[in-house]
């Protein structure tokens, strides 16, 4: 027997309809790419997203077409997303930090028809436009007054593009499993792979994450998504904020500590989300300028392992609640968050920071398991490492345009991460499976060594890679960037680490480097580091 409740497909435009109806005057504030602060609200965004939809229809865009966006977080990018999905087309976010060849590959693979982009990226696109054959028109997210002269095909300023639309447009209706968004993983090896989100997966993912023990978004929240819309759905914030009627503060192109601090203070930001590198930048600014955060209470950190010291400093010196999250493009992206479960609140302050340094537990909608190489489940004891596998309503079951089966017999997706899970359900990433250091048949976590090294007062950033060793197969090399004005004493760094990890985990050497290379999503680029140290030989290797 079926229930007798209404069919109410979980479509993304319902989110902006709701925000306009219930929270119409709630503000969306952006640092515009042109410079000045821009203020709008959900009612206006709703209206203008309908203009976008209307214009897309006029341009012949139909269900399933891909529309590329290469753009910063601003109100225009946000309303474009809603307009695109409202005609059943697919927003395809592109990360501008990718190499030109990767961008070309991705656009051609996705067969994007229109490219929406910021002023910032016009020169970049001009340099590759002759290779972007599927793009019929470039829409520059600006107004006529700021429109640069450009040879980009059919280029038009966004404001002119939608100027003749009156918003008299009924959203298209379709199945909730219809594709809504496309995002390629940066693919450090091989070609990038496209993850294709549906309306349903986006709505459920955002709804399940807005609650208090996850993103903690309320109507009274003022949210700063430093994480870009192009970094895996901005971790759901583009949908969960309008769902709750939270005020949004969009940082545009300026993500440095000083610019973020200015926005946080002037707009009364209560919650901010970004990768560790961004928060390291903010912290350096706060410490140097002796500034505080007067309204911010909650910081979400994810995308790569958050150093324990960063959590500790923001919690103790700045009074924030720091929540460490883990996820990946393939998971829409959030897979776990580090809220403190009720029975653990009595831990002492060190114990609480240790807990928060883990990647947290899975929210409703994410199932996890760890297995050995044979696929057999491993215990949740907080010690045993294994391959981390996941299933859920917002986890991918395949890649766009590829037929390969990617799930195991139980329908789980192998994340490529290695982790432990403890008896309380808290997961801790110990490594990417390709970065773990295999020493004498045992595994050493590069992430744990990095987190430890970064606690040393001379160290600004740390990375650990495995170096071939004739006896042990691989041994860890610690690579560090000194803090401004400091020099690195390798013996001192090693003695700082001693006693905090098993003896055989100790790095065999410490090397100093001016800068650690990063990937387009802000992760340590270990592939590049391995190249840099390709001819390096460990002093312990006879």
Q: Give residues in contact with ligand ADP (CB under 6 A).
A: 185-186, 232, 302-306, 324-329, 333, 359, 415-417, 429, 432, 519, 521, 523
Q: What is the DSSP letter of 56?
A: H
Q: Which of 209, 218, 199 is nearest to 23 (CA)?
A: 218
Tokens of 158: 């966004």
SS3 323: strand
CB of 185 to ligand ADP, least distance (A): 4
CB 176 within 8 A of CB 10: yes
Closer CB to ligand ADP, 306 or 436, in the complex: 306
Is the peptide bond preceding residue 333 cis, with omega within 30 degrees of 0? yes
Compute the distance between CA of residue 541 and CA of residue 469 in angstroms, rounded to an integer: 6
Residue 90 main-chain phi, psi, to 5 deg: -120, 125
258 CB-contact burial (10 Å; exposed 0-12 / middle 13-18 / buried 19+): middle
Greatest alpha-carbon pair distance for the chain in Å reads 76
Helices 308-318 and 349-357 pack at an angle, to 10 degrees, of 130
**Cβ–Cβ contacts within 10 Å for residue 123, how many?**
10
Bridge partners, residue 377, by sequence: 371
415 CB-contact burial (10 Å; exposed 0-12 / middle 13-18 / buried 19+): buried
Q: Kindly write down the DSSP assignment for every residue of 389-447, as one continuous string.
A: EEEETTS-SS-TT-----B-TTSPEEEEEEEEE-TTS-EEEEEETTTSEEETTEEE-HH
Residue 213 main-chain phi, psi, to 5 deg: -85, 5
Sign, CA dihedral 95-100-104-105, equals negative
CB of 219 to ligand ADP, least distance (A): 28
Closer CB to ligand ADP, 183 or 481, in the complex: 183
Closer CB to ligand ADP, 140 or 183, in the complex: 183
SS3 475: strand
Token pair 């930001």 is found at: 269
CB of 329 to ligand ADP, least distance (A): 3
SS3 44: helix
Q: Which of 237, 238, 290, 280 is nearest to 260 (CA)?
A: 280
CB 539 within 8 A of CB 478: no
CB of 302 to ligand ADP, least distance (A): 5
Compute the distance between CA of residue 469 and CA of residue 437 in angstroms, rounded to an integer: 11
Closer CB to ligand ADP, 439 or 519, in the complex: 519
CB of 353 to ligand ADP, least distance (A): 15
Long-range contacts of 490-496 (CB under 8 A, 24+ apart): 492/456, 492/458, 493/453, 493/456, 493/458, 493/459, 496/453, 496/455, 496/456
Give the angle 514-518-523 at the CA atoms, nearest 5°.
130
Task: Give me the active site residues, please.
Answer: 185, 330, 438, 443
């Amino acid at each position: 027997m079926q229930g007798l409740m209404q069919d109410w497909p979980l479509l993304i435009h319902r989110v902006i309809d709701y925000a306009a109806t219930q929270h119409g005057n709630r503000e969306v504030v952006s640092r515009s790419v042109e410079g000045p602060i821009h203020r709008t609200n959900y009612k206006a965004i709703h209206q203008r997203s309908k203009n976008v939809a209307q214009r897309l229809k006029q341009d012949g865009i139909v269900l399933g077409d891909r529309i590329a966006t290469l753009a910063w977080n601003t109100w225009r990018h946000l309303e474009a997303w809603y307009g695109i999905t409202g005609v059943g087309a697919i927003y395809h976010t592109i990360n501008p930090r990718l190499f030109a060849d990767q961008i070309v590959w991705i656009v051609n693979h996705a067969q994007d028809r229109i490219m929406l982009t910021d002023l910032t990226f016009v020169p970049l696109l001009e340099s590759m436009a002759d290779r972007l054959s599927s793009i019929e028109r470039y829409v520059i997210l600006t107004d006529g007054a700021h429109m640069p002269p450009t040879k980009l095909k059919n280029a038009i300023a966004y404001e002119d593009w939608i100027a003749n639309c009156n918003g008299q447009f009924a959203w298209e209706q379709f199945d909730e499993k219809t594709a809504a968004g496309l995002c390629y993983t940066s693919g450090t090896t091989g070609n990038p792979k496209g993850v294709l989100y549906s309306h349903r997966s986006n709505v459920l993912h955002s709804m399940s994450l807005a609650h208090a023990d996850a993103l903690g978004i309320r109507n009274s929240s003022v949210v700063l998504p430093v994480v870009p819309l192009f970094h895996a759905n901005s971790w759901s914030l583009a949908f969960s904020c309008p769902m709750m009627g939270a005020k949004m503060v969009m940082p545009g192109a300026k993500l440095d500590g000083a610019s973020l601090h200015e926005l946080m203070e002037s707009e009364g930001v209560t919650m901010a989300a970004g990768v560790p590198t961004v928060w390291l930048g903010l912290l350096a600014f706060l410490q140097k300028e002796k500034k505080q955060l007067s309204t911010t209470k909650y910081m979400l950190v994810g995308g790569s392992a958050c150093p324990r010291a960063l959590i500790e400093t923001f919690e103790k010196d700045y009074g924030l609640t720091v929540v460490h999250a883990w996820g990946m493009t393939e998971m829409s992206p959030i897979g776990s968050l580090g809220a403190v479960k009720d029975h653990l609140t009595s831990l002492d302050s060190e114990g609480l920071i240790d807990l928060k340094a883990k990647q947290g537990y899975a929210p409703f909608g994410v199932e996890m398991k760890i297995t050995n190489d044979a696929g057999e489940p491993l215990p949740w004891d907080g010690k045993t490492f294994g391959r981390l596998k996941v299933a859920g309503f917002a986890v991918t079951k395949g890649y766009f345009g590829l037929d390969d089966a990617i799930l195991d017999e139980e329908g789980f997706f192998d994340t490529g991460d290695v982790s432990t899970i403890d008896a309380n359900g808290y997961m801790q990433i110990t490594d990417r499976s390709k970065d773990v250091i295999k020493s004498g048949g045992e595994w050493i976590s590069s992430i744990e060594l990095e987190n430890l090294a970064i606690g040393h007062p001379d160290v600004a950033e740390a990375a650990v890679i495995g170096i071939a060793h004739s006896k042990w197969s691989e041994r860890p090399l610690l690579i560090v960037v000194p803090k401004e004005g400091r020099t690195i004493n390798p013996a001192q760094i090693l003695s700082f680490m001693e006693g905090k990890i098993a003896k055989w985990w100790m790095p065999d050497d410490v090397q100093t480097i001016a800068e650690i290379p990063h990937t387009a999503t802000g992760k340590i680029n270990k592939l590049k580091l391995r190249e840099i140290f390709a001819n390096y030989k460990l002093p312990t290797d006879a």
